[in-house]
A = this chain, B = another copy of it.
Amino acid sequence: MTKDAEDNDAPPNQPERFQQARAAQAMAILEDYAEMISDLIEEMGEARITDIASRMGVTHPTATKAVARLKREGLAVSRPYRGVFLTDEGADLAERVRARHRTVVHLLVAVGVPPETAEMDAEGLEHHVSEITLKAFERYLDAAAAK
Contact yes or no, A125 B123, CB < 8 A: no
Inter-chain contacts of A120 with B (CB < 8 A): 16-17, 20, 130
> Among residues 106 to 136 in chain A, which have CB atoms less than 8 Å away from a CB atom of chain B?
107-108, 111-114, 117-121, 123-125, 127-130, 132-133, 136
- The answer to the question of A18 belonging to the interface, with a C-beta cut-off of 8 Å to chain B, is yes
> Among residues 74 to 128 in chain A, which have CB atoms less than 8 Å away from a CB atom of chain B?
107-108, 111-114, 117-121, 123-125, 127-128
Q: Taking each of A56, A108, A113, which has the highest tally of chain B beta carbons within 10 Å of its own beta carbon?
A: A113
Contact yes or no, A113 B127, CB < 8 A: no
**Protomer copies:** 2
Known: A10-B55, A15-B54, A32-B18. Is A133-B118 also a contact (CB below 8 A)?
yes
Contact among B14, B15, B58, B127 with A124 in the assembled complex (CB-CB below 8 Å): B127
Q: How far is the CA of A43 from the CA of B7 in the complex (A)?
A: 8
Count chain A residues whose beta carbon lies closer than 8 angstroms to a beta carbon of B: 44
- The answer to the question of A2 belonging to the interface, with a C-beta cut-off of 8 Å to chain B, is no
Inter-chain contacts of A16 with B (CB < 8 A): 57, 120
Contact yes or no, B132 A113, CB < 8 A: yes
Inter-chain contacts of A17 with B (CB < 8 A): 119-120, 123
Query: Residue on B with the closest CB to A20?
Result: B120
Contact among B9, B43, B124 with A9 in the assembled complex (CB-CB below 8 Å): B43
Q: How far is the CA of A54 from the CA of B19 in the complex (A)?
A: 12
Q: List 22 A-B contacts (CB under 8 A).
A: A10-B43, A14-B57, A15-B54, A16-B120, A17-B119, A17-B120, A17-B123, A18-B32, A18-B56, A18-B58, A18-B123, A21-B123, A21-B124, A24-B124, A25-B25, A25-B124, A111-B136, A117-B133, A118-B133, A123-B128, A125-B129, A128-B128
